[in-house]
Structure 1
Amino acid sequence: MKNELLQSLPKEKLIQLIEDYSKNWLAMDGVWFQSVEQKLGMDEAMYHDAEAWRRFTIIEAKRIRQFLELPEHPGLEGLARALQLRFYANLNEADLLWEDDGKTLVYRTRECRVQRARERKGMPFHPCKPVGEIEYAGFARTIDERITCECISCFPEVTDATCC
C-alpha cells in the first residue's frame, strides 16, 4: 500500500520531512541512550550504543549504497557521496575534505547536535570516540571494504578544538 499523502507532497515538503525524520531519529537515539545512562551508568550505555551502531551502520550503509547504485568498489568518491545521505548529514554541520595526496578523505564535524544538546542540558559531553570509530569504520567498510578509518579528534580525545 502506497502512502498517498507522501506521494502527493511537493519536493520542498519532502525535503522538510526528511529533515524532521532525521531529527526524530536522533532524538530516539538520544532518548534510549540517556535512559540507559541514567539507570545503569555511562559504561553500560556506551556498551549498548556500540552494539547498536555496530549493526545499524551496516544497515544504513547498505541501503545508501543500493540507493546510489554504487559499484562493488566505489572508493573514497563513493564514500563521500554516501556520507552525504546519512541521517547525520541533515543534522550536523560537517565538511568532507580531500587531502593533497588524493587518497585521504577527512570527515570533519563542525557542530554536533548531540554534544550541543548535552551541553544545553548541563550534561557531560558524550564520549563518542569509541562508538564513532565503530560507526564510521563500519560504514566505510560497507561502502568499500578496502577503506580504513582513523579518528583524528573526537571527545574525549580532542586534538582539534575547532570541530566536534
Structure 2
Amino acid sequence: MKQNNFLSSLTKEELIKLIEAYSKNWLAMDGVWFQSIERKFGMDEAMHHDREAWKSFTITEARRIKQFLGLPEHAGLEGLAKALQLRFYANINNDEIILGKDNKTLVYRTLECHVQTARKRKQMEYHPCKSVGIIEYSGFAKTIDERITCECLSCYPDITDNSCCCAWQFTLNE
C-alpha cells in the first residue's frame, strides 16, 4: 500500500481531527447514496440496498479492526467492546458501552445519533434503521467472535427506551 508521507508529519492531535473528518466524510457518503435512492425509488427500496450494503461492509470493518487490534479468534465481549470503540460511528455519535457484571452480556447504546439528528434537521422522516442495525451489529459481533449473538433492545421505529436513540445487547454463548 502506498505510504502518504504527509500523514507522518501530522501531530497526534491533527491525526485525531483527521480521523474525525474522515468519519464524517464516510457518513456523508453513506447518507448521500441512501438519500439518492430514497428520493428516486422510495424508502423501502433504499432500505433494501442499505441492508445489502451493510451485510458486506460490517464484516469488512470488523475484520480490519480485529486485525488492527490483534484480537484473537475468540475475542469475547472485551474484544467486542474495544472494536466497537474503533468503528467510524464511534467518532461521530455519542455512545456508551456497558459490560455486564457476569461478562456474558454487553449493552451498546447510541445516546445521540448523527444520522437521525441530520434527518430531523432536514425535516425528513427518521431512518427506520432497526432492520439494518440487526444485520450490522450481528455481523460485526460475529466477525469479532462467532460465539456472540446480538439482540435489538430499542431502535427506530421500535423505540422502547427513550433515553437513547438505539440500544443493542450482545451475549457471549459459550
TM-score range, shorter chain: over 0.9
State how far apart, in whole Å, the 1-side matches of 2:48 and 2:57 are: 14
- Aligned partners of 2:71 and 2:102: how far apart in 1? 23
TM-score normalized by structure 2? 0.93
Question: Aligned partner of 1:50: which letter?
Answer: R
Q: Which residue of 1 aligns with 2:164?
A: 163
Corresponding residue number in structure 2 for 1:125: 126
Q: Which residue of 2 aligns with 1:24?
A: 25
Per the normalisation by structure 1, the TM-score is 0.98
- How is 1:9-88 mapped onto 2 (pairs within 5 angstroms)? 9-88=10-89
Cα deviation code 1:4-45 (max 9, x no counterpart):
111111111000000000000000000000000000000000
Q: One-letter code of the match for 1:12? A: E
Report percent identity of matched pairs: 70
Q: Tell me the SS of whatever aligns to 1:95.
A: strand
After the TM superposition, which parts of structure 1 deviate over 2 Å for at least 4 consecutive aligned residues?
99-102
Q: Secondary structure at the match of 1:125?
A: coil
**Number of residue pairs aligned between Structure 1 and Structure 2:** 164
Aligned to 2:170: none
2: CA distance, partners of 1:30 / 1:107: 22
Using the TM superposition, give the Cα deviation of residue 100 of structure 1 relative to its aligned residue in structure 2, in angstroms: 3.4
Task: Name the structure with the higher helix share.
Answer: 1
Alpha-carbon distance in 2 for matches of 1:34, 1:151: 24
Q: Distance in 1 between matches of 2:123 and 2:22?
A: 26
Give 5+ residue unaligned stretches, structure 1: none
